Structure 1
């Protein structure tokens, strides 16, 4: 996601975590850069959960040097989700198969096929770095028995579509899509991303559960607001939730 031309890329056979490598290399990078790993030995998802990273799946990070305030920088998770969906549709020709789950997952036929992890350091300083970590189950998905009860079951692109796509080929579709959404975000702000995201949102207008810490709220998924918060309509009123685990 560059606003100044296409991002470069670095491919490594094995690394602990592409986000960790992004931070290690950040100060030496001349511009937006993708880091792609054949294998991650310590991949992680949200809340530091381990992320299964077998060979053949996509494990990549886009390293950026953002200049905006932290709340604006965080909205790039929606740009990444939209770019992922564009890449999936381009490579499969199945637009109806791919939906977006708040806050940062992509679903294929209702199962989780990709996740996004934003991590940042030094925002609002000259050394600001944002690492947008993306994991895609191209050929393998974790065992459903390892997934938290009630969570969306994981699926792979191969199992759902029969298509075997390499990580390198997927990056060839994903990187330009990220560039396009980044350019839109810089030029027009969050509004067009919000509209596009809502057009592909999973379970919009339907009952969901949102868990924040030990508290779980149930209600109707009404929208996302201009700050990217989940808007949940409950019997007690309408809530704007900035961060939560969502269950269907």
Structure 2
């Protein structure tokens, strides 16, 4: 993918920043998008601007104007877009469905996880059509399995899965491929914090919880942000040129989709 241009939304700690690092290592020019401008500037500083191959846009994909601004920056800085990685997400309220259904954060979750991602894709459409490019959606195993108290997020991500399949068919005549990566556990500070909460509830150590989870996975390995980023890069690259409408699960065998 050397010389290609990628737009990556939701660049924060974890998968987003790891994907930017991977792309830069492979010679890809990157437009980073996130609401936190300070974080974007810190990443640019860490990577030394990657020789002028990184641009940042502080914006909210729930706002159509912000999505259009990203498209303008990509055009002005790099002149093209070869891949769009829709990594931005919104959790929504925690709790059971009926306890949270009146919470306004349900609308926020759908406005980012589904409509926002569609807005972003629409803003990039002219550039993606010109390059016969790719779109990669970053989904979640939450939409495949039952995880307590994240029903709103799971339902929104299920909507994203349906959107990705429809887009794959709608954009195929334009030469644009649309695929999804579906992570399960992702090792890092948020997962470690979850292990600590689980450990406190069970009266055991976080190390014991981590060991239990690791042993429950067929590959005996908790996927890392780099593992997920590598899968995204594959679907963004010409190596997956005959693949569209697919979902690639990165979960060490935790869940096997039918």
Give the TM-score band, short-chain normalised: under 0.3
Greater fraction of residues in helix: 2
Q: TM-score, normalization: structure 1?
A: 0.28
User: Over alpha carbons, which structure has the higher Rg?
Assistant: 2
